[in-house]
């Protein structure tokens, strides 16, 4: 589009001054030029992206293959009892594997958790297994390994929760089933003990407050209604 003569020819502008028409024509001219500039820029960007994509895909495939090779080498060291060496290769595999390859990353993290367990590095094992579960929630081996680490750390609540999750998704998992049977009564006892300790502290606090008025919680009796399950509180001297 050419500029209007009203805007480019001073003689025309003097002969027939139309400032509004001149401004409108100039704005339309600039708008069309800007649109053409943008279209050319987008076309160039698309062409560059198309040219780069094959190389990016190939590079990603190479990284994935390299990471898998490192993982398998780490597995061989793990099988031979060299757990430290295995962890070193698993770390390199994680550096090579693309972030988008979540399943592959989960497998490497889970393998690292197994190596940490062999080295009695319980906290590190739990951390590695958690990383695997972040990448692939519900990963069976990662759940089992984190549960084992939690059990060694005496965090039986979390260990039982992980074993129960495995058993829910994989009812035939004998390891998880045995662990749930073993840990459930222990965790239940711990909960009851914690509940008693909490009630003891609350009673102590209540007696401290009531003591200022010459009373204690022993002056109050709670009776449970077997029909409704509710409690009624009565005062006694």
CB 174 within 8 A of CB 144: no
Mean pLDDT within 212-233: 67
What confidence score (pLDDT) does residue 57 get?
42
d(CA 203, CA 235): 16
Q: Which tokens belong to 156?
A: 């039986």
d(CA 137, CA 88): 25
Encode pLDDT of 84-125 as tens digits.
Answer: 999 999 999 999 998 899 999 999 999 999 999 999 999 999
Encode pLDDT of 193-210 as tens digits.
Answer: 777 667 656 656 666 765
Domain parsing of the chain, residue ranges: 1-45, 59-235
pLDDT tier, 211 (very low <50, low <70, confident <90, very high otherwise)? low
CB 223 within 8 A of CB 234: yes
What confidence score (pLDDT) does residue 38 get?
59
Helix (H, G, I), strand (E, B) or coil at 82: coil
Closest CA to 167 of 187, 190, 183: 183
Q: Which fold has domain 59-235?
A: 1.25.40
Q: Which tokens belong to 122?
A: 């319980």
């Amino acid at each position: 589009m050419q500029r209007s003569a009203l805007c480019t020819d001073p003689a025309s502008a003097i002969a027939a001054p139309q400032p509004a028409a001149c401004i409108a024509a100039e704005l339309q001219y600039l708008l069309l030029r800007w649109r053409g500039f943008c279209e050319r820029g987008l076309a160039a960007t698309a062409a560059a992206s198309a040219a780069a994509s094959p190389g990016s895909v190939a590079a990603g495939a190479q990284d994935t293959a390299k990471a898998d090779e490192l993982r398998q080498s780490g597995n061989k060291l793990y099988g031979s009892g060299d757990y430290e060496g295995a962890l070193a290769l698993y770390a390199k595999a994680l550096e090579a594997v693309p972030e988008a390859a979540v399943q592959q990353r989960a497998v490497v993290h889970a393998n690292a958790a197994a190596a940490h367990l062999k080295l009695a590095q319980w906290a590190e094992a739990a951390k590695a297994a958690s990383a695997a579960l972040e990448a692939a929630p519900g990963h069976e081996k990662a759940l089992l390994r984190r549960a084992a680490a939690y059990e060694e750390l005496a965090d039986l609540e979390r260990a039982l929760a992980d074993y129960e999750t495995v058993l829910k998704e994989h009812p035939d998992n004998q390891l998880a089933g045995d662990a749930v049977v073993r840990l459930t009564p222990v965790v239940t006892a711990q909960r009851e003990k914690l509940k008693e300790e909490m009630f003891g502290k609350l009673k102590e606090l209540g007696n401290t407050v009531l003591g200022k008025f010459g009373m204690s919680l022993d002056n109050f009796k709670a009776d449970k209604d077997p029909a409704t399950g509710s409690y009624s509180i009565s005062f006694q001297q």
